[in-house]
Structure 1
Amino acid sequence: MATRYDPFADTARWMDEILGSVRQAATPALPGMPMDLYRSGDHYVLHIDLPGADPGSVDVNVEDRTLTIRAERTAHTDADVQWLARERPSGTYVRQLTLGRGLALDVIEASYADGVLTLTIPVAEEAKPRRIEIQHAPSRTVIGSAGTPAPALGEQPTT
């Protein structure tokens, strides 16, 4: 039985051993923060997945109408570890959203549980739909004598 020799397999193995730490630093860009956004009554709810992020590193701020969410996931680093596969990205996650008008940005609520950041953004009072009541004015009926036409608006009746 003939065996097949692949010189590139040995080269790839050597490259992994020699340049392993350099190649790990050049990991592809972190994936975006997947999110769900919906309106429930008079507020919007935003759920953002941040798996493995340290809760102390999660930062949410609003400047003007830009909402910025930042979180960090640190890599597991031990000197005596030989990595066999390292596919989970680490580093800083950042996502920015431009918010529309009519939101109460000063009362946003945030919570973080089970790797999911939840933001609740209320609709501002002035942006909430409201019903405008129509007032009915009493109708004016001018009664004139049988042969006398009713005076026009602003005229004095003749006697």
Structure 2
Amino acid sequence: MIGIDAAGLVIPHLARQMISLHAQRTDVATHLESMLETHPLYSVLTSMPGVAVRTAAIIIAETSGKTFASATALSSYAGLAPTTQQSGTSIKSERVIHSGNKCLKRALFLSAFAPIRFHPVSQAYYDQKRDQDKRHDQAVIAFVHRSLTVLFTMIRDRFIYGVPAVEAA
């Protein structure tokens, strides 16, 4: 009987705390989104299919203060550049390295699933990789690497996805 009474006291208290935490989380997310909307790269990043507020925030946070000479350098930083596994004269395979910025890599990987399903150009690229006998995860990683290359160019030239650079300026 004591356990039931204790549960009757504790559960409502925990429910009030959970509601309070949810409200705080919503306030922080709203504040972060309003801060992000003022960033100069926000409209460039969110124009890319699959990149929404959270992914844009992670890209900005993980790459701010860093300069990349090329898309390959950015891909390598994110851990998405393919590397050749080689010993002497034998080349074993090309694979994606397990190092790199895991937060950025995960955000880009997860943001790839929507365009692969709903964006025709992305679907075509994914299907092309699958037709080349790539496994699903290999095709997704190839798509993410390609998307990151496009994002690098968009950031460097400050143009919106799907709009020619001449019109965007």
Fold conserved between structures, TM > 0.5: no
Higher helix share: 2
Which protein, 1 or 2, shows the higher relative CO under an 8 Å CA cutoff with sep ≥ 6?
2
- Give the TM-score of the pair, scaled to structure 1: 0.24
**Higher strand content, 1 or 2:** 1
For normalisation by structure 2, the TM-score amounts to 0.23
